Structure 1
Amino acid sequence: MPAPITPKHREVAQRAREARGGWVLAAVYPSADSGQSAARRIPRAERMPAYHPPGTYEAYDARHDDGTAVWVRYTAGLPKPAPRPPAATYRVCDRGTSRSYEGVRIVAVTVSPDCPRCGGPRGSAVPYRFHEDGEWYVVDKWKNGCGHTDMYDGVLTEARELAQIAAEAAFTLGEEAAEAGEFSQAVTLLRALERKQRFLTARRSALLLAVAGHNEAARRVEEERTSTSGRMSARDADQFLVGLAAARASCTDCDDGLINYRARDGEFVSLRCRRCRRDVVPHA
């Protein structure tokens, strides 16, 4: 059991301001409860004056080799940052598991967006072209901001484990599907996952939904989870998707996710409907 760590929040807040929207490791807590509590309180600056005023910082907790890490970023006065993705997808080399050379094939894998060692954000994919066996291939390379390096073998193992969890849950699906409109398949899978895994979190649910190909459902769950400072269970995610599907079906405020109106200066403006939360690009 690692020794308790007293985080230096004033120093962390300053480093986060200097990082200008980049994620900074705040502390590593020996218990998950302590880390989760800190991650919830930082955005609200609750009993943490270093992060005043409320809403100036974002935070999340993640598994760390020595406990639970809390990562922080400063967002005040900056363009609205992109929400944290529920998963990350990379193209990697798969050379098989045999001791003899089996050749190379390129596979796309979906894994956690967090570094498996410290919980920091994984890097963005950058295409890399290489030549082997008389053929040219393109894979992704990425650099994690935390400094830890992902090896293709480790990423493949992680992807297979996640895919197996999602596949086993899908195998147990009954004939009765959830009634959740366009999210019916996602909610049905989510309920199967809940039955197989106790204390399933919304964060983990979003990752497994993305692994199973329910990408929009995964993004919406992560979006809602972030807006509630992380206090969201898999059951909450289930109810949220059911409610969102119903809201979309009954919404009369927008046109396929866009609210169109004419501004005072005569210009026509389109904004994203907050009720439907569809993937659209607001424009003026």
Structure 2
Amino acid sequence: MRRYLQADHRAAAANARQTPGTWIMAALYDASMTARTVARMARNGTIGAYRPQGSFDAYEAMHDGGSAVWIRYVTGLDVVPMPDTVTVRVPDYGTQPGYEGVCIRTVDISSRCRRCGAPRGPIRAHTFVKDGSRLVCDAWENECGHQDLYRMVLAEARVLAERTRPRPAKSPKKPLIRGVEGGRYAATVDRIAELIREKPSLRALRVLPHIEAHGHMDAAQVIRHFVSDSATGCHTSARAAALHLIELDEEARRAAQAEQSEWQDGPIGCGLDATTTGDNQ
């Protein structure tokens, strides 16, 4: 059962109206989906305390005790939308043994405190000296009082980068199968292709009644032998059976082409000698 840890929206709305433009935590829930829904309802005025619609801005964020809803009163104010992430320069001292020196890394992190979800403090440039070199990174203080450590910020950035990394494109769908034109099993392959379009996972033995009903008895017998010889046995797919029929037709076509080429390229007038030629003239 979901627990509503803190949800006094009337009091929260009243506090926000007293400090327009300032973010305050309005509610705390144990389910992020609940907090996300409440934040949306606060923005569109579905919850009576936040009417009229558009009077409040709101977002949901992680909190040590669950998921928090933060709100701010924006009526009459020219406020800048709060970004989800901010870009900061962070010193990286390394973690491996014997590491020396420091480098400055530019990374993206959440715009909200990882402990309570409050907005992170304003970012400012910070200059420091390391090993005789003057370096510049970013620094900030969170008004919520939770302190950010650079090593934790780097860890957060790595997690965020992994989440937002583009995923590899899904492999394209398998190409449609089609019978070899003029092939012995072309009609059977086309019939199996229709069945596969309706049910891609169809097994080879399941197509036998369909193709036999269309009079393709020879093809059905070939498929039975193919399934019997296959390592997957009765689990052999209908697609694999159709590809086998295509392969048989292509082999037959190649053999016919080779035979025709051999006849056309053979010696002309073989066995005729000058005497024979003279007799024919």
Both proteins in one fold, TM over 0.5: yes
Asked if residue 22 in structure 1 is aligned to residue 22 in structure 2, the reply is: yes
Q: Distance in 1 between matches of 2:10 and 2:120?
A: 25
* CA displacement, residues 17-40 of structure 1 (integer Å, 9 cap, x when unaligned): 233212111111112232122111
Larger Rg, first or second structure (1 or 2) = 2
Q: CA separation of 1:34/1:166 partners in 2, compared to 1, >3 Å: closer, same or farther?
A: closer
Q: Distance in 1 between matches of 2:147 and 2:113?
A: 9
Task: Tell me how large the CA RMSD over aligned residues is.
Answer: 2.3
Mapping 1:66-81, distance limit 5 Å = 66-79=65-78, 81=79
Q: Secondary structure at the match of 2:88?
A: strand
Whether the 8 Å CA contact 1:69–1:118 is kept in 2: the answer is yes
User: Higher helix fraction: Structure 1 or Structure 2?
Assistant: 2
Runs of 5+ consecutive residues of structure 2 not aligned to the other structure: 173-281
Q: How far is the alpha carbon of 1:141 from its aligned partner?
A: 0.5
Aligned residue in 1 for 2:242: none
Runs of 5+ consecutive residues of structure 1 not aligned to the other structure: 177-284
Aligned residue in 2 for 1:139: 137
TM-score by length of 2: 0.56
Question: Of residues 76, 81, 84 in structure 2, which corresponds to 1:83?
Answer: 81
Question: Of residues 96, 99, 112 in structure 2, which corresponds to 1:98?
Answer: 96
TM-score by length of 1: 0.55
Q: CA separation of 1:66/1:45 partners in 2, compared to 1, >3 Å: closer, same or farther?
A: same
Aligned residue in 2 for 1:4: 4
* CA displacement, residues 135-173 of structure 1 (integer Å, 9 cap, x when unaligned): 111110012232211110011011122223444x35x24
Q: Secondary structure at the match of 1:5?
A: strand
Q: Distance in 1 between matches of 2:75 and 2:27?
A: 21
Aligned residues: 172
* CA displacement, residues 85-132 of structure 1 (integer Å, 9 cap, x when unaligned): 131111111000124452111111111212112222222210011112
Q: How far is the alpha carbon of 1:3 from its aligned partner?
A: 5.2
Q: Distance in 1 between matches of 2:171 and 2:106?
A: 30
Runs of 4+ off more than 4 Å: none
* CA displacement, residues 46-87 of structure 1 (integer Å, 9 cap, x when unaligned): 2x33222221111111122221110000000112x1112131
